[in-house]
Amino acid sequence: MGPGDLDRALCGLPLISDPNLIVGLEKADDAGVYKLSEELAIIQTVDFFTPIVDDPNTFGQIAAANALSDVYAMGGTPITAMNIVCFPVKTLDISVLREILRGGLEKMAEAGVALVGGHSVDDVELKYGLSVTGTVHPRRVVTKAGARAGDKLILTKPLGTGIINTAVKGKVAGEEAASRAAIHMASLNRAASHLMQEVGVSACTDITGFGLLGHACEMIQDSDIGMKIRMSSVPVFPEAIEFARMGMIPGGTYRNKEFRAAMIQASGGLPDHVLDILFDPQTSGGLFIAVSPERAARLLSRLHQNGVVEAAVVGEVVAHPKERIIVEE
């Protein structure tokens, strides 16, 4: 579903007030956060989707990494997970499901997460994901809100997985491009999350279905700040640029662009494919972090030292124009 669909579905629904609810549905953040004590809060999130790669084990790893990412984006530590499975029992062999679950377990083991259960249904279309619970100190929660004018913006993974997956379906992308994208999608955001907590940041979100610009818009909506993004600094899979120029654009890109068009100011002369890349729906994308200029260099250095080698400063938070994102070459 597109962001506009979700807005219309949720509009007007009554929400229950709770003084211990730190982050709830009304804030449209990456996960919910509930305070259990002055020292402990839990983070709850859920995510599942249809296969985006052919290999069942790889799909399981990607789906698990994607679900865990919301906890990492909030600065938390995932501790338990439950499988969500929709499986066409009559048309696929059960060995396919076993490999998907194996892939999910491998990624949970890497994250130090215990699988505690799950739920499955017989469905005509295969889907897999996780419901995840994590922990965080109530005063250490990192949300989408909180970015300040002058903050630097760091992106930790390259963009373009949606475009590459579309090119794979169209039999345009080769095995090398597909494999490179899959490796990034299956990689955890754990190191980036731990390092941003170590350094201290203003705000964070993970880049998923709404694309970089879509999620960036969520960070500045109803605020007194804007952002400036430099396309030349944004890490992008080289193949994604080529495929975008060829028109290998996912349908979700157009929905994302339509919903946020009023908040985007693109510099004159930008090629059409630039916004297609910046609005490209990502699966298990990187963290998008706002950090003070005094701490940005240290965070970037620590990311590179700990294997997050494609992390880059891609722009900054600005005071004007408010609730707008300027995209430059």
pLDDT per residue over 231-256, tens digit each? 999 999 999 999 999 999 999 999 99
- pLDDT tens for each residue of 99-123: 999 999 999 999 999 999 999 999 9
As a whole-number percent, the residues of the chain with pLDDT over 90 amount to 91
pLDDT at residue 227, rounded to an integer? 99
pLDDT at 14: 83
Alpha-helical runs (H) found in the chain: 3-10, 56-73, 94-111, 161-169, 175-186, 190-199, 211-220, 238-245, 251-260, 272-278, 293-305
The yes-or-no verdict on residue 285 having pLDDT over 90 is yes
Q: What is the pLDDT of residue 7?
A: 74
Give me the pLDDT at residue 91, please.
96
Phi, then psi, of 314 in degrees rounded to 5: -110, 0
Q: Sorting pLDDT into bands at 50, 70 and 90, what band is 212?
A: very high
Q: Is the pLDDT of residue 9 over 90?
A: no
Model pLDDT for residues 305-328, shown as the tens digit of each residue: 999 999 999 999 999 999 999 999
Alpha-carbon distances of 165 from 65, 66, 193, rounded to whole Å: 17, 16, 26
pLDDT digits (tens, 9 = 90+) for 46-79: 999 999 999 999 999 999 999 999 999 999 999 9
- Reply yes or no on whether the pLDDT at 6 is more than 90: no
Q: Before 321, cis peptide (omega within 30)?
A: yes
C-alpha to C-alpha distance for 2 and 252, rounded to whole angstroms: 7
Nearest of 143, 93, 101, 146 to residue 120 by alpha carbon: 101
In the block, tokens 């890490």 appear at 235
The pair phi, psi for residue 136, each rounded to 5°, is -160, 150
Report the range of poorest mean pLDDT among 20-29, 52-61, 196-205, 211-220.
Answer: 20-29
Q: What's residue 62's pLDDT?
A: 99
Residues in Cβ contact with 77 at an 8 Å cutoff, skipping those fewer than 6 apart: 71, 134, 135, 136
Query: Rounded CA gap, 186 and 252, in Å?
Result: 21
pLDDT attached to residue 3: 67
Find all residues with CB under 8 Å of 241, minimum gap 6, and list them.
Answer: 160, 273, 277
Q: Are 285 and 152 in contact (CB under 8 A)?
A: no
* Structure confidence at residue 178 (pLDDT): 95
Tokens standing for residue 292: 């003070």
| Average confidence score pLDDT of the chain | 96
Distance (Å, whole) CA 157 – CA 174: 21
Q: Which domains does the chain have, with CATH numbers?
A: 3-140 (3.30.1330.10), 152-328 (3.90.650.10)
The fraction of the chain above a pLDDT of 70, given in percent, is 99
